[in-house]
Amino acid sequence: MTDLHPDDSATRPTTGWSTLHRHHLGVDIGGTMTKYAVVDTATGTPTTPVLQVPTPAPATPEAVGDVLTVLVEQLHSHPQAPAPDASVGVALPAIIRRGIACSAANIDAAWIGLHVEQFLTDRLGRPVHVLNDADAAGLAEVRYGAGRGTAGRPVAGTVLVITLGTGIGSALFMDGKLVPNLELGHLELDGTKAETQASAVAREREGLDWPAYTGRLQQYFSHLEFLISPDLIIVGGGISARHEHFLPHLHLDTRIVPAQLRNAAGIIGAARHAYLSAPSLQ
């Protein structure tokens, strides 16, 4: 299954298109659930239902590798199965440098130092490309969601994507190009990590009402705005479905909008990363 992406002409290689695949399995490994779907990367649409299974506890590389092996085997006979040599995109709550995990948030510490891409490629018997979960969500939003500008191209300038979930994830784009592994959830606010105070889970843990939570977000986003001067801020994570409770009450000079792809963003972005990592696009 091969196809050109009509609006990827900037990265279009002169040779090698015949090896490109359009449909990739995208997997988003979270602290509690692992979500996955086959994604049409030309449109950013899942072509199978978005499914989820519990992330094993403890979420060691071996245990997660077992789960992914079963998923890939199950998909094999599905009518929408990607080509056997189509790479798999995997989003992890970890800093990923050249395929190696350098941190581990809400997954087992055994990931740290592991060459995740090599490990999962060996386990699944097909190429695997790995990236940080917030980077994946951001990739999806700038290409197919709230960060699309005119003619479907990413919004020009600096776009900051912040995901509010168990932690706070962040992704930064310059003219649609990802600056990977930004860890802005770990910025300090009043002597503690921002994600300890302003994640969606912090709101639940402390029983904060919307005005109190909005106050924390105001402090956080004002700080980010001062540090980065973005042209657009996109707010994702499950809580973004309830954006009307907080986004309209934030006072910023920067336009701030809810993410559009919600819970599927990580999966879609992981599949997009798999597509972009094809050797012929490097």
Residues that bind ligand BGC in the complex, under the rule CB under 6 A: 93-95, 103, 105, 132-134, 163, 165, 167, 169, 183, 185, 195
- Residue 103: CB minimum distance to ligand BGC, A: 6
- Residue 187: CB minimum distance to ligand BGC, A: 11
- Residue 125: CB minimum distance to ligand BGC, A: 28
Nearer of residues 75 and 234 to ligand BGC, judged by Cβ: 234
Nearer of residues 75 and 95 to ligand BGC, judged by Cβ: 95
Nearer of residues 154 and 269 to ligand BGC, judged by Cβ: 269
- Residue 231: CB minimum distance to ligand BGC, A: 22
- Residue 216: CB minimum distance to ligand BGC, A: 16
**Phi, psi (deg, nearest 5) at residue 266:** -65, -40
Nearer of residues 149 and 180 to ligand BGC, judged by Cβ: 180
- Residue 14: CB minimum distance to ligand BGC, A: 35
- Determine the residue with CB nearest ligand BGC: 167
- CA distance linking residue 8 with residue 168, whole number of Å: 30
Nearer of residues 105 and 247 to ligand BGC, judged by Cβ: 105
- Residue 132: CB minimum distance to ligand BGC, A: 5
**Phi, psi (deg, nearest 5) at residue 57:** -125, 125
Q: Give the angle subtended at the CA of 165 by the CAs of 163 and 170, to the nearest 5°.
A: 25
- Residue 230: CB minimum distance to ligand BGC, A: 18
For helices 116-124 and 61-76, what crossing angle results, to 10°?
40
Nearer of residues 22 and 35 to ligand BGC, judged by Cβ: 35
Nearer of residues 167 and 269 to ligand BGC, judged by Cβ: 167
Q: DSSP for the chain?
A: -----TT-GGG--SS-GGG--SEEEEEEE-SSEEEEEEEETTTTEESS--EEEEPPSS--HHHHHHHHHHHHHHHHTSTTPPPTTS-EEEEESS-EETTEE---SSS-GGGTT-BHHHHHHHHHTS-EEEEEHHHHHHHHHHHHSTTB-GGGPBPSSEEEEEEESSSEEEEEEETTEEE----GGG-EETTEEHHHHHSHHHHHHHT--HHHHHHHHHHHHHHHHHHH--SEEEEESGGGGGGGGTGGG---SSEEEE-SSGGGHHHHHHHHHHHHTSGGG-
Nearer of residues 81 and 116 to ligand BGC, judged by Cβ: 116
